[in-house]
Amino acid sequence: MAIEKRYWDSDAFLGFFKEEPDKVDLCEGVLEAAEDGRILLVTSALTLAEVLYVQKQPKLPISKRKEIDDFFKQPYISVQNVTRNIADMARDLVWDHNIRPKDAIHVATALSCKLKKMNTFDGELIKKSGLLGDPRLIIEKPHEKTQRKLDLD
């Protein structure tokens, strides 16, 4: 069975970490699939810092440092460096598609990895779904069908 590679924007991780009611359930299904080896989550190295604080919200407490550090070392998470190529692509996304700079880094990382799907809660990015990349990047909220387990006992 092929493993699906899926980009996760920092707000998906943060929604899970902060247990935001409108986000945590959507994220848990994807994380469960990742833990089961069905999905590889890809994200930018930018996420490691960005995930601690979202504008107009309190930052995650320092008491969560080890937990978050360990989380991003899981084998089902692939952290991609921000390279010159990604930065150049992000700059073009800002100019050509009016994407905010940090968001453009995330989109450029997904595009450079030739991913088909990106998960985010950012409504402005979701509006760009199917318009960017080759293959066209589908940008949507996290979701994953849960696999029913039959109790045959």
pLDDT of residue 145: 66
| Amino acid identity at 12 | A
Q: Which tokens hold the place of 123?
A: 């409504």
pLDDT of residue 149: 47
Predicted pLDDT at 7: 98
Tell which residue, 57, 106, 118, has the closest CA to residue 79.
106
The one-digit pLDDT tens for each residue of the chain (153 residues) are: 689 999 999 999 988 988 888 898 899 999 999 999 999 999 999 999 998 876 677 788 899 899 999 999 999 999 999 999 999 999 999 999 999 999 999 999 999 999 999 999 999 999 999 999 988 999 999 988 655 444 444
| Unique residue bearing structure tokens 């979202």 | 54
- pLDDT attached to residue 57: 75
Query: Of 21, 20, 39, 42, which is closest to residue 29 (Cα–Cα)?
Result: 39
Structure confidence at residue 148 (pLDDT): 42
Predicted local confidence at residue 75, as pLDDT:
97
CA distance 8 to 15: 11
Contact 8, 106 (CB under 8 A): no
Delineate the domains of the chain, giving CATH numbers in brackets.
Answer: 4-139 (3.40.50.1010)
Residue 21: asked if its preceding bond is cis (omega within 30°), the reply is no
